[in-house]
Each structure stands twice: as C-alpha cells, then as structure tokens.
C-alpha cells in the first residue's frame, strides 16, 4: 500500500507567493485520475486550474473556496491507495472502479467590446500549469456544505440545492458584490448566469429593499487589483512622469483601414484602428530606440531593450491586465491583427498566464472604447513610455483651407523623464501622429 500523498499549492509562475481558492472541482471521497482538475485558483495575475499529480481518492480538502493560502501550503490529502503513474495497477478489476459522476463542463467567457462582456459558449479550459498535460476527465463539483447560507444582497435569499451555472469571473464578481447566484434568473446559454444578469439584479435592488443591510459595500483588495495598485503607486512615486498630448486627424488612416478590410489578405480578420496605431507606434520605437528602455537605478544603468514586447491594456472582470506581444517588431500587420485579437480575447476570458504579462517594454492603452477623449496614463514598472489612445470622433476640423467634418483622435504619451527628455518624447509622439495623419508616409521609410 502506498503512503498517503499530499498536494501543496505550487508556484504557478513569476514568483507569486499566494493564491485564492476560487472553485474546488472535487470533494472528499471523489476518485480522480492523474491530470484531473482539482481546483481553480486565482493568483495576482491569472486564473489557473491545478491538475492532480496523483490518481486515487480525495481524503481531505484543507482550504475552502474564498480562502487565500501561501505557496507550499497543503491543499489536498489523498487516501492511501494512490499512484503517480509509475506504480499504476496494470489490470484493475472492473468492479473496483468507482462510478464516475457525469462531468459538469465549464465554458470560458467569450469577450465582447465592453469591460464586462456577456458569457458565450466556448471551449473547455485546459490545464496551464507547467509540467502537466491536459485534463483527461472532469470530476463532479463539490456540493454546498450542510447548513451553508450564501451571502445575501438587499435581504433577498432563495438558495437552491443545485449549483448555479456561471463562469469563474462571474462568480468572483457576484462574490465581491455580495450576490447569491441562487437568487439570479439566468439568461445565458444552457442556463448560465452572465454579467448582464448581475447588472439586472443590481438594478432591481432599491434602498427600501435594503432594510438591515449597510448602504456600502466592502470589497477585499486582492488579486489583480491589489498588485496593479501596488505597481502603480511604486511607478508614480519612483519615475518622474511627463505627459504630452497631440490631437490628430486620422481620416486617412480610417480610409486605409476600409481598404484593408476589403482585401484578400485581411479576409476574416478583426481589423480595428488599434492595429494601425500599433504599427505607427512600432515604427516610432524603431526610429527612436531610446524609448524602448528602462531605468535601472540599482545598477546605475539605462537598459535598452532589443525587442519590443508590446503591452496592450485590457479591461477584464478581474481588473486591468496588460499582456504583451513578444517581439512585436517582427510581425506583419496581419500577424499583429491576429495576435491583438487573441491577446484581448484571452485576457477577457480570464485565461492570461503570468508569462504573457512578463517582460513588457512599452504599453498602449485604448480608453477610446469607453468614449473618453484622453488621459494621463501611469507607466508600467520597467518601461519608459505608455501611449494612451482616445476615442475617434467626427468633428469640425480645418482641412485644405476649409472647415470640414473629419475623424479626430487625441493621443497622449507618458514617459519616464529620467531617461526620456522632452525632445525624445515629442519626437516619438510626433512620429506616431504623422503616420496616422498620412499613413502613406510609412512607404517612404
């Protein structure tokens, strides 16, 4: 008989020290195979499914959903009859195999154009922990503990014995808002609760219905929001920020965009103005490599990056994520188009990995999608510049000596004044603006 095995929270990447238990996929008494998903945890950077390194029976779960535990803390104990794949029984008796419960598939969130998209049917998640293969089977979800009372919002409570269907981002948001998912009427595919359902529920709760419930909500500062806040404070009080603005007539860029959309090379591509803005930014960084750098105060050096790992800020239900496209300067326009689409979809689905957010060198944040004209973005630590893109709107503008309606966009560039002076910052921003005003200039370079 093999010794009792335990599974502790591993370091899932980037030296993270803790994680929150989001969803247990097993309960005591369940039988699992190697690589079956045990639990879904939320780190400061991503949602990660942890697969089982052993096959056998679950004996004890050492943490509850919502608990935050440190790396190295034991999460699961297995029964004595376990194997790790090396000493697996060759001919297990058919009658000894416990009956498997039907799997409950979890589908990912399909992104929309807002920061909280509706849920769409998607593919089942795969394990993302390095060193493990994809999940071969899904075990039953743990039922609620006896006597469990879910959190209530505005005095409404109608708990059901069946576990409501919702993706992890929806569950996390509902938990932060104090909403019991059992009280929500789902409108999503296959009876799934969506972000829009949560919005509808919040709209129906009035102050009169909130008898006995405080008129404020307290949301724990943790996960992505906690790390983002710490990074932004460190950046704001370490790097001396300078922000410059320019308002650009991008009418010709939009004309080019329409031509590309109708071309064979961009068939079925999700081509947006951001793609051409990225191209213009990459051109500016190529012409002015001093912007693609960082200040290393401890070493007394300015570090100039050879590659442009271009970060694109993406609003997600978990907070702001900034995954980056590695070696973006090597990609053509169609490749950039596809990578941007993939990057944003992955981020909004909550599947961005720590590796995809590591080693960024320059960032673009697009606040125009929220109808905002401009802003003063804060640098990501380890980067010298960040470009902010405002909304593109039709406005009266001087054009060829006359006033005409043109497509106008405001760009702002924040940079670290320790290594980027006003001349360099102005040249980079001016380079981007000229290419967006006259995209044909790119052919002359």
Beta bridge partners of 323: none
- Please name each of the domains of the chain with its CATH number: 1-141 (2.40.50.100), 143-220 (4.10.320.10), 225-444 (3.30.559.10)
Residue 165 annotated among the catalytic residues of the structure: no
Question: Which of 30-34, 167-171, 281-285: highest mean pLDDT?
Answer: 281-285
- Residues 390 and 376 sit within 8 Å (Cβ to Cβ): no
Over residues 139-163, the mean pLDDT reads 43
Pull the structure tokens for residue 1. Answer: 């008989």
pLDDT band of residue 302 (cuts 50, 70, 90) is very high
Q: What pLDDT is attached to residue 39?
A: 93
- pLDDT at residue 116 tops 90: no
Res 208: pLDDT: 43
The pLDDT, as a whole number, for residue 84 is 64
pLDDT of 141 over the 50 cut: no
The residue behind tokens 């965009």 is 257
- pTM score > 0.85 for this model? no
% of the chain with per-residue pLDDT over 70: 76
Closest of 325, 242, 321, 235 to residue 281, by C-alpha: 325
Residue owning tokens 């929001």:
225
Give the pLDDT score at 109.
34
| CB contact at 8 A, 292 and 384 | yes
Other beta carbons within 10 angstroms of residue 17's beta carbon come to 11
- pLDDT tops 70 at residue 86: no
User: pLDDT band for position 420 (50/70/90)?
Assistant: very high
Please give the residue that has the higher pLDDT: either 421 or 196: 421
Band of pLDDT at residue 254, cut at 50, 70 and 90: very high
- Of 62, 241, 288, 417, the catalytic one is 417
Least confident stretch, 29-33, 69-73, 107-111: 107-111
Q: How confident is the model at residue 46 (pLDDT cuts 50, 70, 90)?
A: confident
What per-residue confidence (pLDDT) applies to 82? Answer: 67
Average of per-residue pLDDT across 279-298: 96
State the maximum Cα–Cα separation within the chain, in Å, rounded to a whole number.
89
- Tell me the C-alpha to C-alpha distance, in Å, between residue 254 and each of 68, 260, 371: 48, 10, 18
More confident residue, 98 or 321: 321
Task: Give the model confidence (pLDDT) of 330-380 as tens digits.
Answer: 999 999 999 999 999 998 888 888 889 999 999 999 999 999 999 999 999
CA–CA distances in Å: residue 147 to residues 144, 150, 159, 337, 360: 8, 10, 11, 51, 48
Higher pLDDT, 48 or 247: 247
Which is nearest to 57 in space by CA: 76, 75, 74?
76
């Amino acid at each position: 008989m093999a010794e009792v095995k335990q599974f502790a929270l591993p370091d899932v990447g980037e030296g993270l020290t803790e994680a929150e238990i989001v969803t247990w996929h097993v309960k005591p008494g369940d039988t699992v195979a190697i690589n079956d998903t045990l639990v879904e945890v939320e780190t400061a950077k991503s949602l990660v499914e942890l697969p089982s390194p052993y096959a056998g029976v679950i004996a004890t779960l050492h943490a509850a959903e919502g608990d935050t535990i440190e790396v190295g803390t034991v999460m699961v104990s297995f029964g004595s009859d376990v194997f790790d794949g090396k000493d697996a029984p060759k001919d297990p008796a058919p009658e000894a195999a416990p009956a498997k419960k039907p799997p409950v598939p979890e589908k990912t969130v399909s992104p929309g154009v807002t920061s909280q998209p509706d849920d769409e049917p998607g593919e089942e998640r795969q394990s993302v922990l390095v060193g493990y293969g994809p999940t071969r089977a899904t075990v039953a979800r743990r039922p609620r503990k006896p006597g469990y009372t879910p959190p209530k919002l505005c005095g409404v409570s109608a708990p059901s014995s069946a576990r409501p269907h919702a993706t992890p981002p929806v569950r996390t948001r509902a938990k932060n808002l104090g909403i019991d998912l059992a009280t929500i009427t789902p409108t999503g595919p296959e009876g799934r609760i969506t972000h829009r359902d949560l919005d509808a529920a919040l709209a129906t709760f009035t102050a009169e219905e909130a008898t006995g419930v405080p008129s404020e909500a307290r949301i724990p500062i943790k996960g992505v929001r906690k790390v983002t806040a710490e990074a932004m404070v460190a950046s704001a009080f370490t790097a001396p920020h300078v922000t410059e603005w320019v308002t650009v007539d991008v009418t010709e860029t939009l004309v080019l965009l329409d031509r590309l959309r109708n071309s064979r090379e961009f068939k079925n591509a999700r081509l947006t103005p951001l793609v051409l803005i990225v191209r213009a930014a990459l051109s500016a960084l190529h012409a002015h490599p001093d912007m693609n750098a960082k200040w290393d105060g401890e070493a007394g050096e300015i570090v100039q990056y050879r590659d442009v790992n271009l970060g694109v800020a993406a609003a997600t239900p978990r907070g702001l994520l900034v995954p980056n496209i590695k070696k973006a300067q090597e990609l053509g326009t169609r490749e950039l188009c596809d990578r941007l689409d993939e990057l944003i979809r992955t981020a909004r689905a909550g599947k961005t990995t720590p590796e995809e957010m590591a080693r960024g060198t320059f960032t673009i944040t697009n606040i125009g999608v929220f109808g905002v004209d401009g802003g003063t973005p804060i640098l990501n630590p380890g980067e010298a510049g960040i470009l902010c893109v405002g909304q593109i709107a039709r406005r009266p503008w001087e054009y060829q000596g006359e006033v005409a309606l043109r497509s106008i966009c405001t760009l702002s560039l924040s940079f670290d004044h320790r290594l980027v002076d006003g001349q360099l910052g102005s040249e980079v921003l001016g380079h981007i603006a000229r290419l967006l005003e006259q995209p044909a200039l790119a052919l002359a370079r």
